[in-house]
Amino acid sequence: MLAQSRRLIDRMPPPQFVRLTGIEMKVLDLFKKYAVNKDKLTAIDGYFTNFLGISTKADMFPPLKELSGQVFPDLPLKGDGVFAGYGEYHSLLTAIESRAGKDSLTIVELGAGWGPWVSASGVIAQRMGFDRINLVAVEADAKKYQFLQDHLAHNGLADDPSVSIKTLNGAAWYEDGVLHFPKAIEAVDYGGRVSAAGHDVDYRGMEYVSDEIEAISIEKILAEFDAVDYLHIDIQGAEYEVLSRHKELMNQKVRNVFVGTHSRMIDANLLQMFHDWGWDIPRSMACFVSHNRSIPTLEGMTMTDGEVFARNPRLQD
């Protein structure tokens, strides 16, 4: 990510120094298990295709238009080089692998953007033959919400009777209500964040006029499911504020969660929270921060997301 602009995708993979210890060898085997044979990965004009066979529209990444027609068959042991790190793929595939042989798979993505993780899990689940695949994605920005619809459809999920898709154009929050979100945010900017009041300048010091948006509680989002196999949450600094208020819900329903974090304080708070809840934390990585007094908040100074992957031992079977 170009730190100077703070407008490009904040999901760019952090620097990774992967040593192939016994643990990493297990992850390598996991990646290999779900990778599509290189000979079956097809170049598509206007899209780029990853090792899982997921194709993504290149013009969602204006500075990276050269991605069009490219195929990335390599396993993402140092990140995929575009938008995601090793840890996100590891967490997703670990969650899916733990449900192999079950009848259904339920994936929820909050702050979904174009829905990379619901789409990837849906395609993998189709190949695995789950009878029922539940995909839920929540995105606040109207343009990216359309990207989400297009991405799900392009990857063959919209018309599959075994796949139930629920998408919500709103902000995942700890209660239902009304919040404010940047209006007409740039398509390449994935750093938009909700606020309690209207504003002309956001938490990063960027000039964005806000508009009202529906706030949707996690309790409401998860209400129809007995269990969620994988929850991916990336909501630009509100992740601890939202999750910490839902201890009972998380303990009772969520098997695996990946959190993209946006300050060192949030990193620490989440680690303490999951530890206190009795969850296991297979992986965590602090976010990368570049201190700059011209930026009004610590979350706005975060240049690369941190990672917390936590597993609920109560629901592992």
pLDDT beyond 50 at 1: no
Per-residue pLDDT, averaged over 239-268, amounts to 95
- Predicted confidence band of residue 22 (pLDDT cuts 50, 70, 90): low
Of the candidates 288, 294, 238, 309, the residue with the CA atom closest to the CA atom of residue 12: 288
What is the pLDDT at residue 196? 80
pLDDT beyond 80 at 77: yes
Residue with the larger pLDDT of the pair 202 and 15: 202
Rounded to whole angstroms, how far apart are CA atoms 30 and 54?
Answer: 17
Of the candidates 303, 304, 65, 60, the residue with the CA atom closest to the CA atom of residue 187: 60
In whole angstroms, what separates CA 253 from the centre of its chain?
Answer: 19
pLDDT beyond 60 at 3: no
Q: What is the pLDDT of residues 24-70, one digit of tens each?
A: 788 899 999 999 999 999 999 999 999 999 999 998 886 666 899 99
Q: What is the pLDDT of residues 274-291, one digit of tens each?
A: 999 999 999 999 988 889
Query: Which helix (H) or strand (E) element contains residue 178?
Result: strand 177-182
- Predicted confidence band of residue 11 (pLDDT cuts 50, 70, 90): very low
Domain made up of 82-187+215-315: CATH architecture: 3-Layer(aba) Sandwich (3.40)
**Exposed e or buried b for every residue in 229-256, given b needs 16+ CB within 10 A?**
bbbbbbbbbbbbebbeebeebbeebbbb
Sheet holding 210-217, edge to edge: 171-173, 210-217, 177-182
Per-residue pLDDT, averaged over 79-99, amounts to 94
pTM as predicted: 0.90
